Amino acid sequence: MQTPYLGPLQEGSTACVTVVRDNQIIVGNIGDTRCVLSMGGEGQVDEVCDITTDHKPHDEAEEKRIVLAGGKVYKDEFPNAALKDLGIYRINGKLHISRAIGYFEFKQS
C-alpha cells in the first residue's frame, strides 16, 4: 500500500502577486510578503503606501481563526523588563505568520 503524500510539513513560503492592467492594480498576498505602491513622477516619489496587510497571528481576526481551528497563539517573552512590550507571536509556539503556502504541519486535522 502506498503512503499518501503529506507535503512539506515544516517548510513553506509567503507570496505576493501583482497584476497591472490598464488603470487597475490587482494584488494578492499571503503571509508577510508586502506590496508597496510608490506614487510620483519619473525619478521622484511623492508618496509611498502599503497596499497589502501582513497575515500575523496577533491580528484579532487571525487569532480568532487560529483558535477556532484548534491552534493557539503564544507570545515570546523577553527576559529584559525594558523590552516587555516587544515579542514575537507564534502559532502553537512555532510559526510567526498566520497564513502561508505549505507548512502542512499546521493544516492537519
pLDDT digits (tens, 9 = 90+) for 25-72: 999 999 999 999 888 777 776 788 899 999 999 999 999 999 999 999
Is residue 7 in a domain? no
Is residue 77 in a domain? yes
**What is the spatial distance between Cα 37 and Cα 102, in angstroms, rounded to a whole number?**
27
Question: pLDDT averaged over the chain?
Answer: 85
When pLDDT is cut at 50, 70 and 90, the band that residue 6 belongs to is low
CB 106, CB 73: distance < 8 Å: no
pLDDT of residue 43: 74
pLDDT of 82 strictly over 90: no
Is residue 65 in a domain? yes
The count of structural domains within the chain is 1
Q: Output the domain CATH number for residue 54.
A: 3.60.40.10
Entry pTM: 0.72
Is residue 3 in a domain? no
User: Residue 85 in 3-state DSSP?
Assistant: coil
pLDDT of 95 strictly over 70: yes
**Separation in Å, CA 87 to CA 36, 94, 103:** 25, 13, 22
